[in-house]
Structure 1
Amino acid sequence: MTRRALIMIEGHRRLGPLFVEAAQRLGLHTITLSADPAHYDYLSSESIEVVRVDTNNLDALIHECSRLRATYEIAGITAAEEEVYATVGKLCRHFDLPGPNPASVERCCDKFVQRQLLAEAGVPIPAYRLAANATDVERYAAEIGLPVVLKPAVGTGSSGVRLCRNVDELAEHTTFLLGGKHIWLSSPRILVEEFAQGPYYGVDIMGNEVIGVAAVDFAPPPHFVGRECIYPAPLTDDEHKRIAEISLSCLRALGLGWGPTNVQFRWTKRGPVVIEVNPRLTGGTNPQRVQLAYGIDLITEHVKLVIGDDWDLRRRHSHTAATRHLLPDRDGILDWIDGESRAAAVPGVAEVKFYVEPKTPIVRKGDYTDLMGHVIATSPSLAETEAILRRAVDLIGWSITPFPTPGEREQSAAPHFPD
């Protein structure tokens, strides 16, 4: 009997292993097509089949999938990385498999086009302009009014996103984006946006069903690095209903509605304002939070959809799950980090994980790569979950020695214990 396989286009540092585990539970063999398999540590496992191929070359991917069909029954093709999700849609259409609409995904991944479509549909969004150079940025920021947010028109993980509160910060970040330091995923185009102020929320959708809403807290500005996330967000029924209705209107405006979508909001003085729509699963620890909170395995249910099986999004229970990310407060060399086992032993802690090891250089970039680890806690109530999280995080500590400056001797920093 021909073995059924799930084809993954590129991996994902956090979600990739979860896709492999979900596929195994469903009796599928996972094959990852990647331009650089070494980018994903988990792909070094002997149990995971990997094919090196240029994942930006659609013809090369079609060729490899056709070759694999001689050995396997390809049950489905998918990805966790947003950059290749439109390619996944094109492959699914070529091989007549369930998948996202590639044109809709491409429109959504261009944040300028996305905002145009949302605005045309009457969805509340921040004021925005598209800039091609420093002169444009300066003029549009003056039109919108400081503070503004500058971000690449195409990008993920808050890479290159910064709050600019004055003309100096505006000029500094414009120079960073256009001066060769930022790695662009497309031609250099900058979105200049009104800074929508208020509590931040992320909405998980599968198909046309709103699964839940998360509350997100960020580290101090000017960057937008997630520090803590609570699932579900403490909202009233009316607030939840309003966010859900606007989220579904985003799907209609963007031609989405197949598979996973994540919609991000700020609740401002004028109500919910859509910051962006992502045509993919929310990354990081979000799938674990959803499973702990509701008993819904988003990864497994997504794979079921990909292979044409019926999915099940029914809630098994209703708990509160929360994640605290471990963030460095300085650049330098990580001397030590410990407390993992102590924190993991706290009742109600679901996972403690460090992403870095001692002697690692710490260079903050103001995006998801700054994270040094996380703690996830869960319980039946919000107050109890928050208390568990605080107890666990208090047991973790680290020390970072600042990089030496010219003419100064290297000094050791005092141990740092987060609040």
Structure 2
Amino acid sequence: MARRALILVEGSRGNGHLYIQAARRLGLHPITLSADPTQYGYLAVEKAEAIRVDTDDFDALIRECSQLGASYDIAGITGFAGRDESKYVKVSKLCRHFDLPGPNPEPIEQCYDKFAQRQLLAQAGVPVPAYRLGRDVTDVEKAAEEIGLPVVLKPVAGSGSSGVRLCRNIDELAEHTTYLLSGEHNWRSSPRILIEEFARGPYYSIDTMGDEVIAIGTADFGPPPYFVAREYIFPAPLSDDQYRCIADVSLSCLRALGLDWGPANIELRWTKRGPVAIEVNPRLPGLTTPRLVQLAYGVDLITQHIKLVIGEEWDLRRRQVQVAAARFLIPESDGLLDWIKGDRRAAAEPGVAEVELYVKPKVAIVRKSDDRDPIGHVIATSPDRAQTETILERAAGLITWSITPLPTPVKREQP
């Protein structure tokens, strides 16, 4: 009998290794297809099979999966969007091609076009910020005047807050518009900018599977004009009425976008008019969220996602309610990382569930004002929110580092 394999298209710094581990626990052989497998260090650590293939080439992916099908029983195909969200669209099309469980490609494509997503949500009556589409400087200036400053500028396609900036005045608007349209930003398609009202209010991150709300967390961000997450905490402190309201809006988002299969992550802001949808991602979030959800609710989203992918019965029942939080370690300057220490002391603190460093000494630190800025994280958990915050503050404070400016300053890449 052929060995059952799980095909993973590309990888993820945040939770790729968790998919490898979960697949093996389920008796599957994980195989990663990547244009450059060496960029995912966990593949070597996990001694996981990886095959080099052009993941931008759909036909090449079909050929590779077909060849693997001669040696393995391919139980399922999934993958990661990374910074190129078209990869997850290809995953959905591969599932369709090989008649395997997977999301409908059309809603996935619509979600990754932020303007199309806004239109579908608005047409369905879901509260969204005022928005416009811009292709040139004139469009952007006109839209900002109609909406009113401050506004948020973001690429229509993209992830991880790359290229996203709050523009509080005319000068910031002109500066960021120039950056986005000058060719400095890494566009994967023709430049299109979403100009939207700045939704003021607490931020909430909602994780769903199918048509069920699994977890609602909140986050704290660094100083404007960028949106770099500094801390996540699950569950968010909400009254029963607030929880129901956020859950209702989240499920309305899924219905409006036709997302009725698999995981999704919805980002909302609670404004003066209640919850407003900021963005819907038709996949599990990266960074630390799956780990926080598991610690807080006892639900392993990654394992349950794989079960769905291979057509097995899943189990989303909550088994515990703890307060889990992650603090990201974010440098305040660019340069050469001389040293970083204290991670072992932090990991030994009572209540600390995980400490991870993403970098090693003697690497260049160049901040990009998006989710690539953190150099590590600390996760803490306890039965109480205040206690979890105290543990996190103490543990994160034990980790220190030194960065020396480079002799020739590195030009800081804008988001």
Q: Given the two structures, how large is their TM-score scaled by the length of structure 2?
A: 0.96
Deviates more, 1:334-343 or 1:25-34: 334-343
SS in 2 for 1:353: strand
Which residue in 1 is equivalent to 2:123?
A: 120
Matched pairs, number: 406
Q: Does the 8 Å contact 1:376/1:389 carry over to 2?
A: yes
Alignment of 1:360-375 (within 5 A): 360-375=363-378
Select the residue among 175, 185, 193 that pairs with 1:182.
185
1:359 is displaced (CA, Å) by: 2.3
SS in 2 for 1:370: coil
AA aligned opposite 1:22:
A
AA aligned opposite 1:128:
Y
Same amino acid, percent of matched pairs: 67
SS in 1 for 2:225: coil
- Deviation per CA, 1:38-88: give whole Å up to 9, x if none: 221122357322121111222111111111111000000001224311111
Distance 1:354 1:239 in 2: 35
AA aligned opposite 2:330:
L
Which residue in 2 is equivalent to 1:97?
A: 100
1:404 is displaced (CA, Å) by: 4.4
Kindly indicate whether residue 261 of structure 2 is the aligned counterpart of residue 258 of structure 1: yes
Deviates more, 1:390-399 or 1:40-49: 40-49
Alignment of 1:150-299 (within 5 A): 150-299=153-302
AA aligned opposite 2:67:
R
1:376 is displaced (CA, Å) by: 0.2
Select the residue among 119, 134, 148 that pairs with 1:145.
148
SS in 2 for 1:369: coil
Alignment of 1:18-29 (within 5 A): 18-29=18-29
Select the residue among 333, 345, 357 that pairs with 2:336.
333
1:13 is displaced (CA, Å) by: 1.3
Q: Given the two structures, how large is their TM-score scaled by the length of structure 1?
A: 0.95
Distance 1:301 1:400 in 2: 41
Distance 2:311 2:230 in 1: 36
SS in 1 for 2:372: helix
Kindly indicate whether residue 297 of structure 2 is the aligned counterpart of residue 307 of structure 1: no
Q: Does the 8 Å contact 2:263/2:283 carry over to 1?
A: yes
Which residue in 1 is equivalent to 2:8?
A: 8
Q: 1:400 to 1:47 in 2, by over 3 A?
A: closer
AA aligned opposite 2:295:
L
- Deviation per CA, 1:73-128: give whole Å up to 9, x if none: 00000012243111111111111110000001000110000000000001000011
Q: Does the 8 Å contact 1:86/1:101 carry over to 2?
A: no
Which residue in 2 is equivalent to 1:60?
A: 60
Kindly indicate whether residue 371 of structure 2 is the aligned counterpart of residue 354 of structure 1: no
Q: Does the 8 Å contact 2:17/2:46 carry over to 1?
A: no
Distance 2:245 2:206 in 1: 12
1:144 is displaced (CA, Å) by: 0.7
Deviates more, 1:252-261 or 1:352-361: 352-361
Gaps of 5+ in 2: 410-415
Distance 2:394 2:140 in 1: 45
Distance 2:61 2:361 in 1: 39
Deviates more, 1:224-233 or 1:11-20: 11-20
Alignment of 1:79-90 (within 5 A): 79-81=79-81, 82-90=85-93
Which residue in 2 is equivalent to 1:410?
A: none
1:11 is displaced (CA, Å) by: 1.0
Which residue in 1 is equivalent to 2:413?
A: none
State the superposition RMSD in angstroms: 1.2
Select the residue among 131, 136, 148 that pairs with 1:133.
136
Distance 2:48 2:398 in 1: 36
Gaps of 5+ in 1: 407-419
1:9 is displaced (CA, Å) by: 0.9
Distance 1:272 1:353 in 2: 33
SS in 1 for 2:30: strand
